[in-house]
Amino acid sequence: MKDCVLFSKLSENTVQCSACCHRCTIKDGATGICGVRKNYHGILKLLVWNKPTGVAVEPVEKKPLFHFLPGTPIFSLGTFGCNFGCLFCQNAMTSQLSKTDRWKGMYTKFLNQLKEWPPEKIVSYCTQNTISSIAFTYNEPSIFTEYTVDVMKLAKKSGIRGVFVSNGYQTKECLDYIEPYIDAFNIDLKSFRTEFYQTICNAKLQPVLDTIQRIYEMGKWMEITTLVIDGKNDSDEELTDIAKFIAQISPDIPWHLSACHPEYKMTDIRVTPKSTLQWAYEIGRQTGLHYVYLGNISNNAHAHTLCPTCKTILIERNYFDVANNSMKKGACPNCHTHIPGIWG
């Protein structure tokens, strides 16, 4: 447990958190909507500092990031808690455990039993195993921003890059705080409808759109993911709206379209049909996006990176493995078109 940075005092024992756009007003002894930022007598503390629910070394493609150090391993960690309440959450056992009254006792027990991973241990592991990047992922990292910054302050001294896999609900203060330490973002744009965010995610759409715009203006590398849910956000109109929004910021932003599986409180849906994803891919390309990728499906012909000019396959992928990378210094070897991303 450690004092938070992103909060302000409203009175002697009441604080307002500024990590995410909920901007929770938190009374003494209470937590914010995320369940992991708790007010102790007027001081907001991060309950999950040093306490990830899991760590793993994975292909960076699994984040998913396809234009960031392809084919390299990335150290990944996440904690309990989330500032969203997505009914389709694919990771609810950790993200929602701290927020559910009937699970609170289990959450406290598990939290106390978790193995500690202080920044020094994480960075030491990465340097000893030649891992060049760290991802804050699995749940929403803005709720444990202070832990992220503490890790990356030390990691940067060893030349290790930082990745933020997020729902995009950060405040401007949060983005400013992490800006020196994070090199790449993957932002979930779950829908382009306000009602979807309100009724299915317990959040709002506009702050996510604002975050995407801010990250681009910060000059950070960013890729966007949409989990396509059968009958919920898969209409031609909505997919076109998402693609147009991304394209008007930059057609070079990669758009990942992933299949959704029935999970948590949305078990009555079917797995997203492959045909739906393939049509969504066509919408993205027809809208002018240069890099559209499909995920969570087998026999995937749309996981490769193609040159937008001559259509040469530059990076060939098999699920999360890079089978071949023919790029030369971030460019197509055939026509020399520059391919945006972080390549080395």
Could you list the residues known to form a binding site for [4Fe-4S] cluster, using ranges: 82, 86, 89
CA nearest neighbour of 293 among 339, 224, 342, 231: 224
User: Is 249 in contact with 216 (CB distance < 8 Å)?
Assistant: yes
The torsion defined by the Cα of 284, 285, 290 and 294, in degrees rounded to 10, comes to 60
Q: 98: which residues sit within 8 A by CB, 6+ positions away?
A: 31, 34, 35, 36, 47, 80, 81, 104, 107, 111
A 10 A CB-CB count for 211 gives 26
Partners of 317 in beta bridges: 322
Q: Phi and psi dihedrals of 266, rounded to 5?
A: -125, 65
Cα 196 from chain centroid (whole Å)? 19
Q: What phi, psi does 6 have (nearest 5°)? A: -90, 75
Residue 259 token pair: 């299949």
Distances (CA, A) of 168 to 215, 225, 259, 325: 10, 11, 20, 30
Intra-chain end-to-end CA distance of the chain, in Å: 35
* Feature table: binding site: 82, 86, 89
Give me the helices (H) in 44-199, please: 92-95, 104-113, 119-128, 145-156, 172-178, 194-196
How far is the C-alpha of 252 from the C-alpha of 326, rounded, in Å?
19
Q: Are strands 15-17 and 25-26 parallel, antiparallel or unpaired?
A: antiparallel
